[in-house]
Amino acid sequence: MSDTVLELPRGLRDELKEPLGPIYTDTAALLADAGEPLIAVGDMVTYHLIEGGRIPDLALVDEQTKRSAVDGEVTAAIGGFDDERTVENPAATLTAALLSAIRDGVESDETTLLDVDGEEDLAALPAVVVAPAGASVVYGQPDEGMVLTTCDEAAKERARSLLERMDGDTERAFELLGE
């Protein structure tokens, strides 16, 4: 049984469709604009960054894209990380294990791959909150491309606000993130 800290309420779903930054379809252009560290959320984003020559400092994958299994070629290409861990995180939730693993991955000097048993879709929000100023969080915008979020104060405040409006223990979530 997972230790769920936050759950996505139905009323917040539409707001999450608004990207936290510009959308890119060209990986090279995204990488040219990205800051450090680079955090990737999603199998296809991670795949495109690796294919573009950059292993993310932290990547979260769940072997799914748009609710279907990713192609074996994509899964096979996602590798080369210093550390790989599996964490449990059911759909539309953020668990204690995932929040702690995101914090640990951001703080690590090694590249880290988190293989999420469940769903990693909401992980961009805590990643933006915990990442240092100037870092980049990249996640997929279905049927549009990759969203590049620069972790500045405005992006961090928006991510915090979204997390605060989720159901559950917001205070504990921020504690797990070291905030």
Q: The sheet that has 4-7: what strands, in order across it?
A: 93-95, 4-7, 167-168
Asked whether residue 130 is marked as a ligand-binding residue, the answer is no
Query: Nearest-CA neighbor of 33 among 167, 134, 164?
Result: 134
Q: Which amino acid is at 133?
A: A
Distance separating alpha carbons of residues 139 and 156, to the nearest angstrom:
15
Asked whether residue 45 is marked as a ligand-binding residue, the answer is yes
Whether omega for the bond prior to residue 37 falls within 30 degrees of 0, making it cis, is yes
Asked whether residue 143 is marked as a ligand-binding residue, the answer is yes
Asked whether residue 43 is marked as a ligand-binding residue, the answer is yes
Q: Which residue has the tokens 């989720």?
A: 166
Asked whether residue 119 is marked as a ligand-binding residue, the answer is no
Q: Which residues are annotated as a binding site for GTP?
A: 43, 45, 62, 120, 143
Q: Which residues are annotated as a binding site?
A: 43, 45, 62, 120, 143
